[in-house]
């Protein structure tokens, strides 16, 4: 008797759990049923991210770096499970390694002691902005996501990502990798579905601090800009990363877009 294969049920990744869309809707992708997330799923994901953002930001940079490096390790070991070209997968792994190394470099590069003309120890430090929305490009479905996901995580943010609409499976598979990489629940939330429905809901959400848009759709970009303005959400539009070199081009710009600089003044002497 031939053995009947155990098929995979693809689910959204929200708050550390693998869940169906609350809407019950599905799309077909590569012979799989893929959940079509709703606006309500976006709100749930932002709520999960908000809850996770503070504790994630409070982790030490060293700890966050190790967790991102572990994501690279886990991705490497599961390389066979991703339906993307090996070169793309390698680039995604290397991008995690690159940004894992940024966690404890960001503060000295972007911040420092301010030589103020008064008896104070004044210093400026980058802090995560909080919750970052990410609109991933259609292609490449894995690297295009990882190139924009790793920087905000390295900077200490929680992320809600709208995955490639055309090819969502690699992104959903990545959720399963991150779920076993010590990434705390809610720090990464992954939604598959219609970009035109999910991205505006994400941009308009007042609980979002920053938005990274790599979809490459000019009309959508204008719409997202307008919605983000309602709560002064920081927006960065960027081209999809097709190679490792793209993914690490001006890494500092990617990190700056999801950080806030805090200046503290502490008295020196009486």
Partner 1 sequence: MAPADTRTRIVWDYAPAPESADHVRLRSRYGLFIDGDFRDPVDGVRVDSINPATEEPVAEVAQAGEADLRAAIGAAREAQPRWAALDGLERGKYLFRIARLIQERARELAVVESMDGGKPVRESRDVDVPLAAAHFFHYAGWADKLSFGVGGRPATPLGVAAQIVPWNFPLLMAAWKLAPALACGNTAVLKPAETTPLTALLLAELCQEAELPAGVVQIVPGDGSVGAALVRRPGIDKVAFTGSTVVGKDIQAALAGRGVPLTLELGGKSANIVFEDAALDQAVEGIVNGIFFNQGHVCCAGSRLLVQESVADTVITKLWERMGRLRLGDPLDKNTDVGAINSAEQLARIRALVAAGEEEGASRRSVACELPDRGWWFEPTLFTEVAPAHRIAVEEIFGPVASVLTFRTQAEAIEKANNSTYGLAAGIWTDKGAKAFEVASALQAGVVWQNTYNHFDSSAAFGGYKESGFGREGGPAGLRPYLRVG
Residues 122-141 within binding reach of partner 1 (CB under 8 A)? 122, 124, 129
| Burial bucket for residue 13 (CB in 10 Å: 0-12, 13-18, 19+) | buried
With contacts defined by CB under 8 A, name the span among 29-37, 64-72, 94-102, 230-238 that binds partner 1.
230-238
By CB under 8 A, tell whether 238 contacts partner 1: no
Residues 74-93 within binding reach of partner 1 (CB under 8 A)? none
Structure tokens at 8: 């995979």
Residues 145-204 within binding reach of partner 1 (CB under 8 A)? none
Q: Which of 110, 182, 185, 216 binds partner 1 (CB under 8 A)?
A: 110
Q: Which of 4, 6, 118, 245 binds partner 1 (CB under 8 A)?
A: 118
By CB under 8 A, tell whether 63 contacts partner 1: no
**CA distances from residue 156 to 27, 65, 114, 134, 246 in whole angstroms, order as listed:** 33, 10, 23, 15, 22
By CB under 8 A, tell whether 231 contacts partner 1: yes
By CB under 8 A, tell whether 221 contacts partner 1: yes
**CA distances from residue 250 to 91, 101, 117, 225 in whole angstroms, order as listed:** 16, 15, 33, 22
With contacts defined by CB under 8 A, name the span among 94-102, 108-116, 135-143, 192-200 that binds partner 1.
108-116
Interface characters, 251-270, with partner 1 (x: CB under 8 A): -xx--x---xxxxxxxx---
Cβ closest to partner 1, residue 31 vs residue 250: 250
Cβ closest to partner 1, residue 85 vs residue 206: 206
Cβ closest to partner 1, residue 139 vs residue 260: 260
Q: How far apart are CA 188 and CA 180, in angstroms?
A: 12
Shortest reach from residue 242's CB to partner 1, in Å? 17
**CA distances from residue 60 to 18, 48, 55, 86 in whole angstroms, order as listed:** 27, 21, 10, 33
E-assigned strand segments in the chain:
12-14, 17-19, 26-29, 32-35, 112-114, 120-128, 131-135, 158-162, 188-191, 210-213, 234-237, 259-267
Question: 183 with 55: CB under 8 angstroms?
Answer: no
Alpha-carbon 260 to chain mean position = 17
By CB under 8 A, tell whether 117 contacts partner 1: yes
* Backbone CA torsion sign across 30, 33, 36, 42: negative
Binding-site ranges for partner 1 (CB under 8 A): 109-110, 112, 114-118, 120, 122, 124, 129, 209, 218, 221-223, 225-226, 228-232, 234, 237, 249-250, 252-253, 256, 260-267
């Amino acid at each position: 008797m031939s053995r009947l294969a155990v098929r995979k049920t693809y689910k959204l990744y929200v708050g550390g759990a693998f869940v169906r869309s609350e809407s019950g809707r599905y799309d077909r992708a590569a012979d799989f049923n893929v959940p079509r997330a709703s606006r309500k799923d976006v709100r749930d994901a932002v709520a999960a991210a908000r809850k996770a953002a503070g504790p994630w930001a409070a982790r030490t940079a060293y700890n966050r770096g190790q967790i991102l490096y572990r994501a690279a390790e886990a991705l490497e070991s599961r390389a066979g499970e991703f339906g993307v070209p090996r070169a793309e997968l390698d680039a995604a792994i290397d991008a995690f390694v690159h940004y894992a190394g940024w966690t404890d470099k960001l503060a000295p590069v972007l911040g420092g002691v301010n030589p103020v003309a008064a008896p104070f120890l004044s210093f400026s430090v980058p802090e995560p902005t909080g919750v970052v929305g990410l609109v991933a490009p259609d292609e490449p479905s894995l690297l295009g996501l990882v190139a924009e996901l790793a920087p905000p995580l390295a900077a200490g943010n929680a992320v809600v990502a709208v995955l490639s609409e055309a090819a969502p499976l690699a992104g959903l598979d990545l959720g399963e990798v991150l779920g076993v990489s010590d990434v705390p629940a809610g720090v990464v939330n992954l939604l598959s579905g219609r970009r035109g429905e999910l991205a505006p809901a994400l941009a308009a959400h007042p609980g979002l601090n920053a938005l990274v848009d790599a979809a490459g759709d000019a009309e959508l970009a204008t719409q997202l800009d307008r919605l983000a303005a309602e709560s002064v959400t920081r927006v960065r539009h960027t081209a999809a990363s097709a190679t490792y070199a793209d993914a690490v081009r001006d890494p500092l710009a990617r990190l700056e877009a999801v950080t806030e600089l805090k200046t503290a003044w502490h008295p020196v002497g009486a």
